[in-house]
């Protein structure tokens, strides 16, 4: 009886251990996502938090069985946020929901104040006469709407990237833009702006969409409007950032590896869940899941890049350091919504392989694309340098710019089922390309 | 030729003026809503902005044809917001999205800091031994979910109303609660808390749902957690608030009037669009629309109450001052979503009239309720004092607590078609009760 009981207890134990192991395995992606957002938090490029994230990443990748896990530091010119405040002072007092843009000029502690000149579009600002904004604060509006492929971010994102420098050349003392985002919450969207050599940096902030709506209504009423703007953050040279890499070595280590990228840094307003802890979770879980039927032929290397948000410095550092040949590169950096489309740059040059990839994804409802590939900021430099094959697994971006670069980029925004769909799609692709013995030409 | 042209031009002018007048008429509700939110902005009880709102209200009601328009001041004990900041300092640094609750105790400028004790529910806090929170910061979680009738706000709202005073009696140095709200944005929900006579007020704030999720995850991990809390706002006696009233006098001014209420004050984080500029917009536009077929028998009085948010002071002041008899009272103070149900307290006592009301709303899909009436904070005191008949037009509250008392309570959240549905439903009811010659007994 005792033996029987013991055997039964043992079998329960074995079963439950197996189930637990399976659960743990199934949770690799969620655990990385939850860990980075809840144990590390925001991971601003060059910050102490980003450094903690690298230690966390090395520990986690090693525990997951990656080898050659390394932190590879590089210097950056960073941006350290200060106090972000803005208010309408006319026609009525109203506190705006504002964020500084990265590389904004620093205002005095008491801020600056000026008359507002409203521009409905970036083109309207470009058409403003030289000197016409002397001492004023330019407000730049725009009309970005949601799209599945996120294609609005290219053109409308120029309001953030180039608007402040254009306003500066017209004499503006400061600039405020409508956030480059598609939500309707009082959460502004940050992101970097650029002041090219020779253009005087000026204070530059973004207000939330409801705040921008209010400014547009006041502008429409013709009433004079004034804004007070306090952005005490500082552009800071000589900060240290870094990449973390790790390998799942293939059965033929002499073959060039498959590089899969994401970025470890995040903006500081949220906890960088969809941008881009989710990406690191997806690529890492998929690299492991692809080994389930047996070790792949090729090494899969994960690159958790640093300092993507403020200039793509991690990807450049990786390409400079890792001149050894690579076979193919992919990146996940567009949130955690479902993959809906696949693109490659070898539909014709390597039709058989490309078709196998598309056919493996087709049962999941993932359609073939026909557009150019994008790669991703962190793998682009090595793709360009080595002329690599690329597979893009395009995620649904309909709601991505509701959250991107906002305080709302937090863990609760990720649907575990959608995250798992990403891991499944990625693992199918990695299994195929990781077992491809021949050259994968783009 | 000249005459012909002139006649043509005149007819165009007449047409366009007529169209314009019609548009203006159709837009009474939207114009009030847009005006209060965009020209006045947030209207905190007792503030300069609330005083500006009263002037705005008097001007607008007079222009709309109301008579006896008056501002009726009363003194209040108010709350003046200061700097609201909170951060986790352990197990990792993280800046929380926090708001002070109204009547929170003031912290020193540098804030307070303490170990966090997590309570999943208000009952768990109540069960904590006396003295067990000495010097600590209590965090109170809860599980409020969306409901069409908003019934979660009663029980879960107790976390905000009573939680801080209960924590104080256990020795807590401060309290942070999960916002009483159903959204998932980094926008905390404010609202008043109460420290009864004899209970020491302590600093009390609310964090957004994603922040509360993070705190709950950390609590679940068992790691020690510390919060730094800076809430420099002040409870301030002897501030001036006030109600604004105006009448559309009926054809028999000797009959007691119908009272329709809303509140003019708002919380300060947003612009008080759904809470409660929309209510003032609805009742006022409906009172006018009800006269379209001819003047009503009874006077309709609008009450735009002050200081609802911080204690319902406006409703009490009205009931104290206006001891003249009233016929019936109604209020709109639950957002701007569609009316879905009607309730009265005279289904049986005045069945014929009640049936006429229900029958007039039935074609709009508005169903008969069977629950008790609520009235509304601003009309409740006069209802209780005079034992008045009440009609409740219940709005759909499914998303009301996504926005209520948050920075997100802004104009863009109101759907003009839903606002118009409210005006239509209200005007149907006002037409019926406003033309009722007999006593309307509850």
pLDDT band at B18 (very low <50, low <70, confident <90, very high): very low
Comparing alpha-carbon positions, the chain A residue that sits nearest to B412 is A210
Q: What is the pLDDT of residues B180-197, one digit of tens each?
A: 999 999 999 999 999 999
pLDDT (average), residues A130-150: 97
Distance from CA of A189 to the nearest CA of B (A): 13
Helix (H, G, I), strand (E, B) or coil at B393: strand
Tokens 């009886």 identify what position?
Answer: A1
Q: Do B408 and A210 touch (CB under 8 A)?
A: yes
Contacts of A34 in chain B (CB under 8 A): 217
Contacts of A270 in chain B (CB under 8 A): 186
Q: Do A410 and B41 touch (CB under 8 A)?
A: no
* Tokens standing for residue B247: 């009448």
Q: What is the pLDDT of residues B60-104, one digit of tens each?
A: 999 999 999 999 999 999 999 999 999 999 999 999 999 999 999
All residues at 6 or more sequence positions from B352 whose CB lies less than 8 Å from its CB, including other chains = none
pLDDT band at B13 (very low <50, low <70, confident <90, very high): very low
CA distances from B319 to A216, B275, B374, B402 (A): 41, 22, 17, 32
Which stretches of B269-348 are DSSP H helices? 278-289, 313-321
Pairs across A and B, CB distance < 8 A: 83
Q: Do A218 and B97 touch (CB under 8 A)?
A: no
The predicted structure's pLDDT at residue A12: 40
Q: Do B184 and A413 touch (CB under 8 A)?
A: yes
Comparing alpha-carbon positions, the chain A residue that sits nearest to B184 is A412
pLDDT exceeds cutoff 70 at B6: no
* Tokens standing for residue A298: 């090729």
Comparing alpha-carbon positions, the chain A residue that sits nearest to B208 is A408
A212 at the B interface (CB within 8 A)? no
A94 at the B interface (CB within 8 A)? yes
Q: How far apart are the first and last CA of chain B?
A: 68
pLDDT (average), residues B29-51: 98
* C-alpha closest to that of B235 among B396, B55, B77: B77
B408 at the A interface (CB within 8 A)? yes
The predicted structure's pLDDT at residue A14: 39
* C-alpha closest to that of B280 among B268, B265, B300, B263: B263
CA distances from A434 to A34, A256, A437, B14, B179 (A): 28, 10, 8, 76, 48
The predicted structure's pLDDT at residue B9: 41
Domain spanning A29-75+238-434: CATH superfamily: Zn peptidases (3.40.630.10)
Q: What are phi and psi of A174, to 5 degrees?
A: -170, 170
pLDDT (average), residues B406-425: 98
CB A402 within 8 A of CB A265: no
All residues at 6 or more sequence positions from A45 whose CB lies less than 8 Å from its CB, including other chains = A76, A78, A79, A239, A241, A265, A306, A307, A308, A309, A310, A313
Residues above pLDDT 90, as percent of chain B: 94
CB A264 within 8 A of CB A307: no
pLDDT band at B285 (very low <50, low <70, confident <90, very high): very high
Distance separating alpha carbons of residues A115 and A173, to the nearest angstrom: 10
B126 at the A interface (CB within 8 A)? no
- Tell which of B38, B48, B207 to mutate to test the A interface (max A CBs under 10 Å): B38
Distance separating alpha carbons of residues A120 and A66, to the nearest angstrom: 51
Contacts of A406 in chain B (CB under 8 A): 186
Distance from CA of A224 to the nearest CA of B (A): 13
Q: Do B185 and A408 touch (CB under 8 A)?
A: yes
A97 at the B interface (CB within 8 A)? yes
Q: What is the pLDDT of residues B243-256, one digit of tens each?
A: 999 999 999 999 99
Comparing alpha-carbon positions, the chain A residue that sits nearest to B185 is A408
pLDDT (average), residues A173-182: 98
The predicted structure's pLDDT at residue B201: 98
Number of residues that this document lists for chain A: 442
B266 at the A interface (CB within 8 A)? no
Contacts of A187 in chain B (CB under 8 A): 185-187
CB A210 within 8 A of CB B409: no
Distance separating alpha carbons of residues B365 and B339, to the nearest angstrom: 9
Which CATH code is given to the segment(s) B28-79+237-434?
3.40.630.10
Q: What is the pLDDT of chain B when averaged over all its residues?
A: 94
Q: What is the pLDDT of residues A271-281, one digit of tens each?
A: 999 999 999 99
Strands (E) located in B179-292 = 204-207, 226-231, 234-248, 258-263
B41 at the A interface (CB within 8 A)? yes
Number of residues that this document lists for chain B: 442
pLDDT exceeds cutoff 50 at A374: yes
**For A268, left (φ over 0), alpha (ψ -120 to 50), or beta?**
alpha
pLDDT exceeds cutoff 50 at A23: no
> What percent helix, strand, coil does chain B show, rounded to 5?
35, 25, 40
Distance from CA of A214 to the nearest CA of B (A): 6
The predicted structure's pLDDT at residue B381: 98
B148 at the A interface (CB within 8 A)? no
B306 at the A interface (CB within 8 A)? no
Q: Do B186 and A407 touch (CB under 8 A)?
A: yes
Q: Do A187 and B184 touch (CB under 8 A)?
A: no
Q: Do B49 and A93 touch (CB under 8 A)?
A: yes
The predicted structure's pLDDT at residue A371: 83
Strands B84-90 and B94-96, bridge-based pairing? antiparallel
A28 at the B interface (CB within 8 A)? no
Q: What is the pLDDT of residues B99-114, one digit of tens each?
A: 999 999 999 999 999 9
Contacts of A411 in chain B (CB under 8 A): 210, 213-214, 217
Domain ranges, ordered by start, for chain A = 29-75+238-434, 84-235
CATH 1.10.3210.10, applies to A84-235:
no
How many Cβ atoms from other residues are within 10 Å of residue A217's Cβ?
A: 15
Q: Do B213 and A412 touch (CB under 8 A)?
A: yes
Q: Do A410 and B214 touch (CB under 8 A)?
A: yes
CB nearest to A94's CB, from B41, B91, B406: B41
Q: Do B186 and A270 touch (CB under 8 A)?
A: yes
CATH 3.40.640.10, applies to B83-232:
no
Q: In the 8-state DSSP scheme, what is residue B257?
A: P
Sheet with A300-305: list strands edge to edge: A67-80, A234-248, A300-305, A258-263, A328-331, A389-395, A339-344, A367-368
ipTM: 0.89
Q: Do B413 and A184 touch (CB under 8 A)?
A: yes
A181 at the B interface (CB within 8 A)? no
Beta bridge partners of B74: B241
CB A258 within 8 A of CB A327: yes
Following DSSP, what letter does each residue of B30-89 receive, concatenated?
HHHHHHIIIII----TTSHHHHHHHHHHHHHHHHTT-EEEEEEEEEEEEEE---EEEEEE
Q: Do A408 and B93 touch (CB under 8 A)?
A: no
Contacts of A49 in chain B (CB under 8 A): 92-93
Q: In the 8-state DSSP scheme, what is residue B203?
A: -
Q: Do B186 and A411 touch (CB under 8 A)?
A: no
CA distances from B99 to A19, A154, A406, B118, B135 (A): 44, 35, 18, 19, 21
pLDDT (average), residues B7-36: 60
Estimate the crossing angle of helix A416-434 against helix A28-35, to 10 degrees.
Answer: 120
Contacts of B408 in chain A (CB under 8 A): 184-186, 210
* C-alpha closest to that of B244 among B80, B28, B420, B43: B43
Least confident of A19-23, A382-386, B390-394: A19-23
Q: Do A41 and B185 touch (CB under 8 A)?
A: no
Comparing alpha-carbon positions, the chain A residue that sits nearest to B273 is A210
Q: Do A34 and B218 touch (CB under 8 A)?
A: no
All residues at 6 or more sequence positions from B210 whose CB lies less than 8 Å from its CB, including other chains = A408, A410, A411, A412, B97, B184, B185, B186
Q: In the 8-state DSSP scheme, what is residue A198?
A: T
CB B177 within 8 A of CB B160: yes
Comparing alpha-carbon positions, the chain B residue that sits nearest to A410 is B210
Distance separating alpha carbons of residues B381 and B318, to the nearest angstrom: 8
Contacts of B38 in chain A (CB under 8 A): 214, 217-218
pLDDT exceeds cutoff 80 at B220: yes
pLDDT exceeds cutoff 80 at A21: no
The predicted structure's pLDDT at residue A253: 97
Distance from CA of A352 to the nearest CA of B (A): 45
CB B441 within 8 A of CB B302: no
Distance from CA of B42 to the nearest CA of A (A): 8
pLDDT exceeds cutoff 70 at B22: no
Residues above pLDDT 90, as percent of chain A: 94
Helix (H, G, I), strand (E, B) or coil at A321: helix
Comparing alpha-carbon positions, the chain B residue that sits nearest to A406 is B186
- B54-84 as b/e, with b when 16 or more CB fall inside 10 Å? bebbbebbeebebeebeebebebbbbbbbeb
CA distances from A98 to A125, A164, B95, B161, B432 (A): 21, 15, 16, 30, 48
């Amino acid at each position: 009886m005792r033996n029987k009981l013991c055997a039964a207890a043992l079998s329960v134990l074995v079963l439950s251990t197996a189930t637990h192991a399976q659960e743990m395995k199934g949770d690799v992606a969620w655990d990385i996502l939850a860990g980075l957002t809840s144990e590390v938090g925001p991971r601003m490029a060059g910050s102490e938090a980003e450094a903690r994230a690298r230690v966390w990443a090395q520990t986690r990748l090693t525990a997951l069985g990656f080898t050659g896990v390394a932190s590879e530091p590089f210097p950056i010119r960073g941006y350290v946020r200060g106090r972000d405040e803005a208010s309408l002072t006319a026609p009525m007092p109203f506190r705006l929901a504002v964020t500084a843009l990265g590389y904004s000029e620093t205002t005095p502690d008491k801020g600056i104040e000026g008359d507002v000149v409203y521009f409905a579009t970036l083109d309207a600002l470009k058409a403003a006469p030289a000197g016409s904004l002397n001492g004023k604060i330019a407000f730049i509006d725009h009309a970005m709407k949601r799209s599945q492929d996120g294609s609005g971010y290219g053109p409308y994102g120029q309001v953030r990237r180039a608007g402040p420098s254009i306003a500066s050349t017209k004499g503006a003392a400061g600039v405020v833009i409508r956030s480059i985002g598609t939500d309707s919450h009082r959460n502004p969207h940050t992101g970097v702006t650029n002041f090219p050599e020779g253009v005087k940096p000026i204070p530059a902030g973004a207000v939330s969409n409801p705040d921008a709506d209010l400014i547009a209504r006041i502008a429409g009423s013709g009433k004079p409007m004034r804004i007070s703007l306090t952005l005490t953050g500082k552009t800071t040279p000589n900060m240290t950032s870094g990449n973390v890499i790790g390998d799942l070595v293939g059965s033929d280590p002499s073959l060039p590896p498959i590089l899969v990228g994401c970025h470890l840094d995040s903006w500081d307003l949220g906890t960088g869940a969809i941008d881009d802890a989710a990406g690191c979770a997806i690529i890492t879980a998929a690299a492991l899941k692809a080994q389930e039927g047996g070790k792949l032929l090729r090494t899969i290397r994960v690159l958790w890049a640093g300092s993507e948000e403020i200039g793509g410095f991690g990807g450049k550092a990786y390409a400079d350091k890792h001149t050894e040949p690579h076979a193919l590169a992919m990146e996940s950096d567009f949130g955690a919504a479902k993959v809906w489309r696949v693109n490659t740059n070898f539909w014709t040059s390597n039709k058989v392989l490309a078709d196998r990839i598309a056919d493996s994804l087709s049962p999941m409802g993932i359609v073939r694309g026909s557009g150019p590939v994008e790669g991703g900021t962190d793998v682009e430099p090595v793709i360009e340098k080595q002329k690599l094959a690329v597979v893009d697994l395009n995620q649904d971006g309909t709601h991505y710019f509701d959250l991107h670069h906002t305080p709302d980029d937090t863990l609760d925004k990720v649907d575990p089922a959608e995250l798992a769909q990403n891991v499944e799609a990625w693992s199918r692709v990695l299994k195929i390309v990781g077992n491809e013995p021949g050259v994968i030409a783009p």
